[in-house]
Amino acid sequence: MSNERPLRKTFNVPTTRVINSGLNRQARNLTLLLLCCSAVCSGLRAADESYSLTGMNSKHLNTLTRYCGKCHNSEEARGRFRIDELRLTIESSGDADRWQKVLNALNGGEMPPKDEEQIPGPIKTNLADDLGTAMVALRSKMSDRHGEIAMSRLNRREYRNTLRELLGVEINVSQLPSDDGLSNFDTNGASLYVSSNQLESYLELGREAVEEAIDQYHARSVEITHRHEAESLTEKYRAHFAKWDASRAWRSALAEEGLKAEHKEIYDALKKKYPRHQDKYLPFYLYYNQIANAPPVPKDPAFRFFDNPARVNQFIDSSAPSHYYLIRYLKLPSIDTGAFITVPTIHPNQLPTGYIEYNMPPNWPPGKYKVRFRAARVDDAPDDRRFLEFGLRVRNVDLLSVHEVTGTMDNPQIIETSIDLTRKHTLGEHRDERQIYLREKGMHHQFHYPRKIFQEAKKRNGYGPEYVFWIDWLEVERVTTADQTVPAGLQAVAHMLGDDVERPEPGLFVHQTRGVNGRKIRILNPDTGGDDYVHFREIRVISGGKNIASAGTASQSSTHGNDRTADRAIDGDLKTINHTANKAQPGEWWELDFGHDVTIDEIQIFNRNDSPNIEARLQNYSVTVTDSNDQIVWDNNFTPGDLSGGLADFCTAAFRGEQPDEQLINRLVAYYNDKRELDGFKHREALTQTLSVVLSSPMFLYKSESSLKSRQTISEQELAHRLSYFLWSAPADNQLMKLAAEGQLSDPQILREQTNRLLDDARSREMIHGLIHQWLDMKRLDFFNVNIVKHRRYDNSVKLAVRQEVYETTAYLLAENHSIADLLKADYVIINNLLAHYYGIPDVDGDHFRRVKLPKDSPRGGLLGMAAIHLMGGNGDESSPVERGAWVLRKLLNQPPPPAPANVPNLSRLSDRMLTTRERLAVHQELPQCASCHRKIDPIGLGMENFDAVGLWRTKNSYEPPDAESDKTPGKTWNIDAGGRFHDGAEFADYFELRDHIAGHRDDFARSFSAAVLEYGMGRALGFSDQSLIEDIAKQAKDKDYAMRSFIHALVQHPAFRRK
Would you state the pLDDT for residue 113? Answer: 76
What pLDDT sits at residue 456?
A: 87
Q: What is the pLDDT of residue 608?
A: 45
pLDDT at 402 exceeding the cut of 50: yes
**169 CB neighbour count, 10 Å cutoff:** 26
Locate the domains of the chain by residue range. 1-48+194-221+484-500+636-706, 51-142, 233-320, 323-478, 504-635, 774-1000
Lowest mean pLDDT across 206-220, 313-327, 824-838, 1031-1045? 313-327
* 534-541: average pLDDT: 56
Predicted pLDDT of residue 30: 56
What mean pLDDT do residues 132-147 have? Answer: 61
Q: What is the pLDDT of residues 701-734, one digit of tens each?
A: 988 665 545 557 899 999 999 999 999 999 999 9
What pLDDT was estimated at residue 445?
Answer: 59
Phi, psi of 278 (to 5 degrees): -65, 150
Between 748 and 15, whose confidence is greater? 748
Answer whether residue 102 shows pLDDT above 60.
yes
> Among residues 94, 139, 148, 88, which one has the least CA distance to residue 1025?
139
Top pLDDT among 935 and 546 is at 935
Cα 493 from Cα 486, distance rounded (Å): 11
The pLDDT score that the predictor gives to residue 451 is: 79
Decide if pLDDT at 553 tops 50.
no
Cβ–Cβ < 8 Å for 1037, 1002: no
- Segment 982-1010 mean pLDDT: 94
The predicted pLDDT at position 546 comes to: 41
State what percent of residues in the chain have pLDDT above 90: 42
Indicate if the alpha-carbon torsion angle 286, 287, 288, 294 is positive or negative.
negative
Where residue 971 falls among pLDDT bands split at 50, 70, 90? Answer: confident
Contacts of 894 (CB under 8 A, 6+ apart): 1001, 1004, 1005, 1007, 1008, 1011
Q: What is the mean pLDDT of residues 960-976?
A: 69
Average pLDDT estimate for 185-200? 73
Q: What are the φ and ψ backbone dihedral angles of 334, each rounded to 5 degrees?
A: 65, 20
Let me know: does 17 contact 193? Beta carbons within 8 Å: yes
Contact in structure between 1047 and 767 (CB atoms under 8 Å): no
Give the pLDDT of residue 404.
Answer: 96
Mean pLDDT comparison of 299-308, 316-325, 652-661, 829-838, highest-scoring range: 829-838
What global pTM score does this model have? 0.77
pLDDT by residue (tens digit) across 736-748?
A: 999 999 999 999 9
Lowest mean pLDDT among 122-131, 384-393, 727-736: 122-131
CA dihedral (283, 288, 290, 294) positive or negative: positive
For residue 362, the model assigns a pLDDT of 81
What secondary structure does DSSP assign to 410-454, as a single string? SS-EEEEEEEEE-HHHHT-SSGGGGEEEEEETTSSSSTTHHHHHH
Measure the CA–CA gap between 1015 and 97, rounded to whole angstroms: 16
Give the 3-state secondary structure percentages of the chain, helix then strand then coil, rounded to 5.
45, 15, 40
Yes or no: say if 391 and 399 are a contact pair by the CB < 8 Å rule.
yes
Please report the pLDDT score of residue 556 as a whole number: 32
The pLDDT of residue 54 is above 70 = no
Average pLDDT for 394-414: 89
* Bigger pLDDT: 286 vs 812: 812
906 has a pLDDT exceeding 70? no
Which has the higher per-residue pLDDT, 322 or 950?
Answer: 950
pLDDT-derived band at 789 (thresholds 50, 70, 90) equals: confident
Q: State which fold the 323-478 domain adopts.
A: Jelly Rolls (2.60.120)
pLDDT band at 190 (very low <50, low <70, confident <90, very high): low
Give the C-alpha separation, 445 to 433, whole Å.
20
In order, the DSSP letters of 920-949 are HHHHHHTSHHHHHHHHHHHHHHHTTTTB-T
Q: Which of 75, 76, 70, 72 is nearest to 86 (CA)?
A: 72
Average pLDDT over residues 118-126: 78
**Collapsing DSSP states into helix, strand and coil, what is residue 480?**
coil
32-41, 86-95, 657-666: range with lowest mean pLDDT: 32-41
Average pLDDT over residues 325-342: 91
Q: Is the peptide bond before 450 cis (omega within 30 degrees of 0)?
A: no
**Residue 630 pLDDT > 60:** no
* pLDDT at site 397: 67
- Lowest-confidence segment of 568-577, 1010-1019, 1047-1056 by average pLDDT: 568-577
User: Looking at residues 552-565, what average pLDDT do you find?
Assistant: 36
Report the pLDDT value the prediction gives residue 857, as an integer from 0 to 100.
92
Q: Which of the four pLDDT bands, split at 50, 70 and 90, describes residue 568?
A: very low
| pLDDT tens profile 205-260 | 999 999 999 989 988 889 999 999 999 999 888 888 888 888 889 999 999 999 99
Average pLDDT, the chain: 78
Cβ burial of 254 (10 Å; 0-12, 13-18, 19+) is buried
CA atoms within 13 A on the CB side of 397: 13
Are 1020 and 150 spatial neighbours (Cβ–Cβ below 8 Å)?
Answer: yes
Q: Which amino acid is at 378?
A: V
Sign of CA dihedral 697, 701, 707, 713: positive
